[in-house]
Structures are given as structure tokens and as C-alpha cells.
Structure 1
């Protein structure tokens, strides 16, 4: 297929584009710079395409230094631009939008997050993604028999990943003890290998998945303590987990807010909260019972690449 990938130079794009090319697809990148830019949409310079995978977006800023307007200009504004282009070109048969679980919920109520939850995003990142989803859904009837998929990945990881997993890896590699052992939690992860598998499967001409929203997650949820154990095994370090008092660590995180330290209240919440994401719907749509890459194997693949950086 001929595929336009927006945001091709981002974390997901740098992994997805080579994967799609390896599968025999022709991929054209669209972004702020490179092969094609957003200005080319308005000037008619875009290449012929069978599908658009819309990755471009403003990632969640854990330092909260990004103005809300930036999120909406990018996450909503560019989605409108890309989807309008899709609607006006009937030869393009598939549109895949990468949203986020944060468009649905900042915290998971109940055993797991499913696609039928009423969206309750918190903050400009999730709100801008939710607004983009709503725009696509409001115009879904105009798509006819074409395919439109909204994907909500949870915490993605893989080569080139930057974020909380990378921070945790650095702490463990230094041989420092993990001080948050008193917090018991379970959270879902999403290997970039599973992300690439799902996108390629949805692009297949024989795919019978219905249009709509799909969560993206690995099959098994892990606690942060279990994750620390996986990292320790990967880097050859003994597992050192301290069960410091929750109150003490909460105070330390608040101090981190003031002093701009790596451990702050938002990061503490992300590392210790329960956030289990159900992936049953996407597996049923693709006719599979398990994701091709297990949670632990996917994490080991990411950690191996951290080792090589």
C-alpha cells in the first residue's frame, strides 16, 4: 500500500515507518520538515495514497511547561487538517488516528479501562486528544465504506523511548534502591512491536475490523515493583526494593515539585497508580487471542535498546 505517516520523525514513527517498509508498503512522511510538510496539504503537493496513519501530536509534558493552546493547536488542529484531507480524497481508503487512553480517563475506575467508558479527560493533553476524537466521530458518516480507526495506546515503549520508563531504567542501572516498594499497583504497557503489528493488520485489505475506537495494550499488567525486577534482570543488577513509608515519599515528591527534582507528585502518581487497560476489543477485531509480543518480552526488547544507547 501507499501510506502517508504524519509525525514520522517521532518515537512511534521512527519505529513504525521501517516496519511498514519491511512489510512491502511505500511510506511517505508528513511533518514540520522532511519529505512532505503540512503546507503541502494546502498546495496539492501530496503523493497519492491508500492510507493515512496520523501520529503527529504534542506528547504529554510531565513538567507541565507546555501551554494548553499548544496541545489543542497540534493534537486537535493537525488532526482536523489530516482528517479533512482524508475525507476530500476518496481514493484514500483507511485513516488511523493515534489518540491516547488519556482521552478517556486520567484515572481508571473499576478493574480496567474499556472503550465504552464515557470520556473524562483531565488536563490539556487528554482534553485535546478527546476533542480530536470527537471531531472524527462527528464526521464518521461521511466516510462511506472507508475505514477509520481511533487507537488509544497506553504507555508505549521501544527504541528511542523517553519518559518514566527511561528514568526508572537509569535509577536501576546506577544500582540505586527503588524506594517505592510500599506502593502496590498494576498498570498496562504497550510494546512498540505490538503497536506496529496492530497498525499493519488494520491496513490489510482483508481486515474486517469495524470502524471506531480501540485500546492498545499488552496482555499482562505489571506492578512497578515487578517492572523494577525485569529491569534489574536486564542490566544484571540485584533487585533492591525499599518499602519506604507512603507518607514520607509523598512529602519527598512535593519537595520535588518545588525543587524541580526527578521525583515529583505527578511522576509519583504515574509510577504507583493502577492503570489497567483492556485490549480485548482489538484482539477480537483482528481475530487473535494474544498479542504477538508478551509484556515482559516487549520490555526486555526496549531495555536491550536502552543498553545500546
Structure 2
């Protein structure tokens, strides 16, 4: 079976390519190549990893996000429909549903509240894909992961690790939260299971996540264990942090209200639906085991 990875140059794509290459012939497709559509016609499975999530240089426009996250998804799906492939896996994001807070585990039928250009463009792609007529012999599976982490990750967990590794006291310990994550091993496992069993699945959206959430305090404890170094905390009163964040809403300041919500809010995801359809009882690694592997990789860099 030939699996086409569209947009596989990033952290997720590199790990997924290695994982799937044990069982399948992998072809990495760059949509920047002029003849990518011809190459894609000869695949069995499409996995669309193309997307834009970050704007580190603060130069991206709304149109840039919609081009990467919506327009290229539309183009990829049209090529899939014209090909002999039977399965289209679209990697969306929890941001298409919710970006800040949910004290109850979010299910696939929850009302969407995307906030950023990233979340809104991901949601727009989901809506467009679900509105398409899908041939009876083909499947469309949309996967919504929360934050994906693992060796090679350069995202917010790496920033947190760098912050505390320098001995800078963590100032938000007064905020109690829990968040759902997914380690890259479990992410790849879900993809592999979908490829094996997609004929028994319904078209639609599925949440993928580790089974248990972690709090920021849990992550700081893991950093202490892995590095054998004390993480210093400053118990700044919550009202002062909230006041500083409000100031940051109107003035150049490292913290604002939205960033504070992302750093301290509880955001939980339910993965029951996909586990039931795929008949998965246990994931390869626990949430804590996956986080330990990630933090260990940071400490070796």
C-alpha cells in the first residue's frame, strides 16, 4: 500500500513518515512541486499534514492562514477524489473547536468556537470537507489533535522547558489547570489504526488525544525528575497576574489575556469515539510516559 504524506517536512511529518515506513511505501509530497498532482494520482492513502499554525515573525496575514489551511486542503481533496485512493486523512486541530478553555472533555459534536485565524481557517476546512460528496468506496477521516509533543518538538513545551532550565522562577503556579495532550507515539498509532481499519469507520471528525490530561504542575514535576534540578516557583497572586495580562491587552507586554488563558486554562478532550470505532482498549504509552520522553529529548539538546 502506498501512503502519500502531503506536507511532511515538519515535526509531525518526520515522525509519521518513520513510523508508517515499517508497514507501507511512503511518498512525501510537497505541494510546492509543480507536478505534485500527477504524483498523487498513484497513492492509496492521502494524509494531509499541510497547514500553517504559527506566525513567529508576525508577518502572516489572514489570507496566508486560509490559503494553507483551507485552500490547499480543498485542492488536495479534489485530487484525492480524482485518484484511485480510498482514504483521505485530514489533520485538523482542536483549535478548530476551542482554543482556550473547557472544563468538560470536548466531544466531536460540541459547538465550535475558534478564535484565531489559525483556528477559524482550520474550522473552515472541516466544514468544506464535510460538505463534499464522498464516493461510497472512499473515506474521509478528519482528526482533531490537541497539542502534539515528542522528540523534535519546538513548540510551547520546549519554551516552558527553556524557561525553567535557565533557573527563572515560574510565576503562574497559583493557577490550577489540566490539559489534554497527545504524544507523537500515540498520534502515529492512531494514524496507523485508521489506515488498517478505515473500512469499518464512518466519514467524519474524530478527536485523538492521550487518555489522561496533565496539569502544568505535573509537567514541572516531570522536568524536575528528568533534569534532577529544582524548578523554582513564585506564587504571585492570581489577581496581579490577571491585572498584568489586562495591561498587556493594550500595551506591548509579554503577557496578555489570551496568552494567559492558553497558559493557565483547563482544556480537555474526549477520545472515546475513535477508540470505540477502532476497538482500541489501550494506547501504546501513557500521557506521563510520553511527556517524560519529550522532556528527556529537550534535556539532551
For the criterion TM > 0.5, the same-fold answer is yes
What is the distance in 2 between the residues matched to 1:63 and 1:120? 26
Which of 238, 244, 254 aligns to 2:230? It is: 238
1:195/1:121 CA distance change after superposition, 3 Å: same
1:99 aligned to 2:92?
A: yes
CA distance in 2, matches of 1:19, 1:183: 37
| Cα separation, 2, equivalents of 1:11 and 1:303 | 15
What does residue 84 of structure 1 align with? Answer: 78
2:25 corresponding residue in structure 1: 26
Secondary structure of the residue that 1:276 maps to in structure 2?
A: strand
State the number of aligned residues: 300
Secondary structure of 1:74's match? helix
Distance 1:266 1:206, change over 3 A: closer
User: Residue 213 of structure 1: which of 201, 205, 225 is its match?
Assistant: 205
Which of the residues 255, 273, 277 maps onto 2:269? 277
1:142 Cα offset (Å)? 2.5
Q: Structure 2 CA distance, aligned partners of 1:183 and 1:221?
A: 16
Partner secondary structure for residue 288 of structure 2:
helix
Residue of structure 2 equivalent to 1:40: 35
Please name the residue that 1:7 is paired with. Answer: 7
1:51 positional shift: 0.3
In the superposition, relative to structure 1, how do residues 67 and 74 fare at CA in structure 2: closer, same or farther (>3 Å)? same
Question: In the alignment, is the contact (CA less than 8 A) between 2:134 and 2:140 conserved in 1?
Answer: no
Alpha-carbon distance, 1:256 to partner: 5.9
Secondary structure of 1:77's aligned partner: helix
Between 237-246 and 196-205, report the one with greater CA deviation.
Answer: 237-246
Q: How does 1:289-300 map to 2 (within 5 A)?
A: 289-300=281-292
Give the aligned partner of residue 191 of structure 1.
183
Q: Does 1:114 align with 2:113?
A: no
CA distance in 2, matches of 1:72, 1:97: 15
Quick check: 1:68 aligned with 2:67? Answer: no
Deviation readout 1:206-265 (Å, 9 max, x if unpaired): 76222211111111111111211111211111243322111222344456674453x444
- Is residue 167 of structure 2 the alignment partner of residue 172 of structure 1? no
Structure 1 residues 189 and 267, CA gap change in structure 2 (3 angstroms): same
> Separation in 2 of the partners of 1:306 and 1:154?
20
Pick from 246, 255, 259: which aligns with 1:267? 259
Q: Are 2:124 and 1:131 equivalent residues in the alignment?
A: yes
The whole-number CA distance in structure 2 between the counterparts of 1:238 and 1:280 is 37
2:218 to 207, 223, 226: 226
- For the aligned residue pairs, the C-alpha RMSD in angstroms reads 2.1
Indicate if the aligned counterparts of 1:62 and 1:266 stay in contact, CA closer than 8 A: no
Change (3 A) 1:55 1:105: same
> Scaled by the length of structure 1, what TM-score is found?
0.90
Structure 2 unaligned runs (5+)? none
Task: From 43, 54, 71, give the equivalent of 1:49.
Answer: 43
- 1:182–1:246 CA contact under 8 A, matched in 2: yes
SS of 1:243's partner is coil
Q: Output the CA distance in 2 between the equivalents of 1:82 and 1:248.
A: 48
| 1:27-71: CA deviation from partner (whole Å, max 9, x where unpaired) | 1111255xxx2x3245x2446111000001001447864211101
Q: 1:276 to 1:304 in 2, by over 3 A?
A: same
Pair 165,256 (structure 1): closer, same or farther in 2 beyond 3 Å: farther
Check conservation: 1:173, 1:232, Cα contact below 8 A.
Answer: no
Report the Cα distance in structure 2 between the residues aligned to 1:275 and 1:62, rounded to whole angstroms. 23
Deviation at 1:163, TM superposition (A): 1.9
TM-score by length of 2: 0.92
